[in-house]
Structure 1
């Protein structure tokens, strides 16, 4: 299991999402923390570190710290 790290700026973006989008993101991030490579897609070159989480109205860039078992939210874009 990976731990989630989300800075104040991205937390504010997450908090400002409509409730249904926020709930979908929460559920998707839980899947990412359980199995980050299976729950995400490569971001550019598949280095296994920079990943994307693509939902119907959200695009999230993540950084995976495999040695520290952490998922860092790098960017959240709401497309709704």
Structure 2
């Protein structure tokens, strides 16, 4: 199953303001997670299979896995 991506406009604004390389790294993480979110993410705290972390290079994000959606809820830029 391929999941649908949901991004709040505020989070999208943060994404749009990232440097090009960080934006590309986060986009790659999200694309991978859409195909298989558990395989392409790590637990965020306790492993509930719902709140997960994605990371690559200098950027990380927190996602929430729904029934058929992935919601990006936080972006962390690692300088």
- TM-score of the two chains, using structure 2 as the length reference: 0.93
Bigger helix fraction: 1
5+ long unaligned stretches in structure 2 = none
Q: Secondary structure at the match of 1:38?
A: coil
Aligned-CA RMSD value: 0.8
Where do 4+ consecutive residues of structure 1 move more than 6 Å?
A: none
Paired position in structure 1 for 2:42: 41
Instruction: Quote the offset at 1:25 in angstroms.
Output: 1.1
Contact 2:51/2:63 (8 A) holds in 1 = yes
Q: TM-score, normalised by structure 1?
A: 0.92
> CA separation in 1, counterparts of 2:18 and 2:32?
19
**Number of corresponding residues:** 78
